[in-house]
């Protein structure tokens, strides 16, 4: 495989094995359903949630890419497009309609664009688009969020970091997605003993929540570079002290993994100072939210980063990590690469369709090699195109620029 990639002059999306072999086998009963090495069927139901802002534009590109790569690889799709976020609020009055959740639960995988926008920013919490997304993650029980940050050789100069710092970065942030301060209780608004208004949240993790995400991370690290860095704030927060205690206890089962611990403030600094020191990072919900945005900028643009959210069973949720970018929505300026790469993750980790995933990832690299760029990753000497045209170029790469024998 490596030889054929070299002959194509395409770099694999990640040189580390977790991208190449997606089977995660757990030593305990806690098995992650994500990846049958051999797909069990070749016909899948996919829930599409375009959402708001640039969501519909990038989802439309990713859908075409799925369809074309599927037709080449002998995979059939039935797409169900449903409402989420602001679009759902406008149409139904709630950010996650029951129908959306039930259709999503019934499907083989869920592909999401983005949610949110100025229009709904001042809504009460239960009527915010973001609440719909959190309810969806909770409803699908997708506790493990994989956010790879890979610097593509073609985009090194798009990074705000120096070439020698950014070049070769290939790290995976594993974010706990259904617990911690995002969901902890008590939460709300109140009044303190001085009669002053307050707002409060609770950072709380139960043992099983830490154990399952840590186990997931150890397994991923084992398939990548064998290094796991657990990020916490155990010098201050009880929830982090407990997190570290559980991760340390689990480490006994993974003597082959080089485990380190880092406080989140230091991790934020180290990510910019020397990102290549990281291989696999595991952290809680809120630290993962922040660090994954930071890691994305090492790669040049948040518009390049896909994500996969997986649970013990049921469909995975696949989404770009960028938001709805209301400032450029409807202007054909969005970068569809992150959503297309999320579709590749859907195939690889959600459906076990490795070949089709490979084909899409290689098409992305080929499109970059041919010089096509949206504004966020443009540099002089490359070809500036809009979202639609970039989509067409990706389709050309899916179809004709990749010899079948190379896959």
Q: Which is nearer to Mg ion, 293 or 332 (CB)?
A: 293
Helix axes 129-140, 98-106, angle to 10 degrees: 40
Q: Which does 406 bind (CB under 5 to 8 A by kind): ligand IPM, Mg ion, none?
A: none
Please report which helix (H) or strand (E) contains residue 114, including its range. Answer: strand 109-114
Q: Which is nearer to ligand IPM, 280 or 292 (CB)?
A: 292
Q: Which is nearer to ligand IPM, 12 or 129 (CB)?
A: 129
209 binds Mg ion (CB under 5 A): no
Nearest-approach distance from CB 130 to ligand IPM, in angstroms: 4
Q: Which is nearer to Mg ion, 289 or 361 (CB)?
A: 289
Residue 44 annotated in active site: no
Residues 108 and 39: their CA atoms lie apart, in Å, by: 12
Exposed, middle or buried, 325 (CB in 10 Å: 0-12/13-18/19+)? buried
CB neighbour burial string for 292-317, b if at least 16 within 10 angstroms, e if fewer: bbbbbbbbbbbbbbbbbbbbbebbbb
The structure tokens 């010098």 sit at: 235
Binding mask 269-308 for Mg ion (x = CB under 5 A): --------------------x-------------------
Contact of 214 with 244, CB cutoff 8 Å = no
Residue 162 annotated in active site: no
- DSSP of 3-61, one letter per residue? HHHHHHT---S-SSGGGT------SSS----S--SS-S-SEEEEEEEEESTTHHHHHHH
Please report which helix (H) or strand (E) contains residue 326, including its range. Answer: none
Nearest-approach distance from CB 293 to Mg ion, in angstroms: 5
Residue 182 annotated in active site: yes
CB neighbour burial string for 112-135, b if at least 16 within 10 angstroms, e if fewer: bbbbbbeebeeeeeeebbbbbbbb
Catalytic-labelled residue, pool 82, 128, 233, 333? 233
Residue 52 annotated in active site: no
| Helix ranges restricted to H, 192-313 | 207-223, 238-251, 264-273, 285-298
Residue 289 annotated in active site: yes
Nearest-approach distance from CB 294 to ligand IPM, in angstroms: 12
Residues near Mg ion (CB under 5 A), total: 1
Which residues in this chain contact ligand IPM in the complex, by CB under 6 A? 116, 130, 133-134, 289, 321
Nearest-approach distance from CB 116 to ligand IPM, in angstroms: 6
Q: Which does 87 bind (CB under 5 to 8 A by kind): Mg ion, ligand IPM, none?
A: none
Q: Which is nearer to ligand IPM, 134 or 268 (CB)?
A: 134
Catalytic-labelled residue, pool 211, 293, 312, 332? 293
Q: Which does 288 bind (CB under 5 to 8 A by kind): Mg ion, ligand IPM, none?
A: none
Which DSSP letter does residue 337 get?
H
Q: Give the CB-nearest residue to ligand IPM.
A: 130
Contact of 396 with 362, CB cutoff 8 Å = no
Nearest-approach distance from CB 85 to ligand IPM, in angstroms: 9
Catalytic-labelled residue, pool 44, 182, 205, 349? 182
Q: Which is nearer to ligand IPM, 50 or 352 (CB)?
A: 50
Nearest-approach distance from CB 260 to Mg ion, in angstroms: 24
Let me know the angle formed at the C-alpha of 129 by 52 and 376, rounded to the nearest 5 degrees: 45
Contact of 52 with 85, CB cutoff 8 Å = yes
Catalytic-labelled residue, pool 64, 170, 279, 289? 289
Q: Which residues are catalytic?
A: 182, 233, 265, 289, 293
Interface ranges with Mg ion (CB under 5 A): 289
């Amino acid at each position: 495989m490596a030889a054929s990639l070299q002959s194509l002059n395409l770099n694999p999306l990640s040189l580390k094995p977790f991208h190449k072999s997606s089977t995660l086998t757990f030593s305990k009963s806690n098995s992650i359903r994500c990846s049958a090495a051999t797909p069990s069927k070749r016909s899948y139901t996919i829930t599409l949630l375009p959402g708001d802002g640039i969501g519909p534009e990038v989802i439309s590109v990713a859908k075409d890419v799925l369809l074309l790569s599927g037709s080449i690889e002998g995979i059939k799709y039935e797409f169900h497009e449903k409402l989420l976020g602001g679009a759902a609020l406008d149409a139904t009055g709630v950010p996650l309609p029951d129908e959306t959740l039930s259709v999503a639960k019934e499907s083989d995988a869920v592909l999401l664009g983005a949610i949110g926008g100025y229009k709904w920013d001042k809504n009460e919490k239960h009527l915010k688009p973001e609440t719909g997304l959190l309810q969806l993650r909770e409803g699908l029980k997708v506790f493990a969020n994989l956010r790879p940050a890979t610097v593509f050789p073609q985009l090194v100069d798009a990074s705000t970091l120096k070439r020698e710092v950014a070049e070769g970065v290939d790290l995976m942030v594993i974010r706990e997605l259904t617990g911690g301060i995002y969901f902890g209780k008590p939460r709300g608004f109140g009044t303190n003993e001085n009669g002053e208004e307050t707002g409060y949240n609770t950072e709380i993790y139960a043992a099983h929540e830490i154990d399952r995400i840590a186990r997931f991370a150890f397994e991923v690290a084992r398939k990548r570079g064998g290094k796991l860095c657990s990020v916490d704030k155990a010098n201050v927060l009880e929830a982090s002290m407990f997190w570290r205690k559980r991760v340390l206890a689990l480490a006994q089962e993974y003597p082959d993994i080089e485990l380190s611990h880092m406080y989140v403030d230091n991790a934020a600094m180290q990510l910019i100072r020397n990102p290549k020191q990281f291989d696999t990072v595991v952290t809680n919900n809120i630290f993962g939210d922040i660090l994954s945005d930071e890691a994305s900028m090492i790669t040049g643009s948040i518009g390049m980063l896909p994500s996969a959210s997986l649970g013990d069973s049921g469909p995975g949720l696949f989404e770009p990590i960028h938001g709805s970018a209301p400032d450029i929505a409807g202007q054909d300026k969005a970068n569809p690469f992150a959503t297309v790469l999320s579709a590749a993750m859907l195939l690889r980790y959600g459906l076990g369709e490795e070949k089709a995933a490979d084909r899409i990832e290689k098409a992305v690299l080929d499109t970059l090699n041919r010089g096509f760029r949206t504004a966020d990753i443009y540099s002089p000497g490359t070809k500036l195109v809009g979202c639609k045209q970039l989509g067409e170029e990706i389709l050309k790469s899916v179809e004709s620029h990749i010899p079948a024998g190379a896959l």
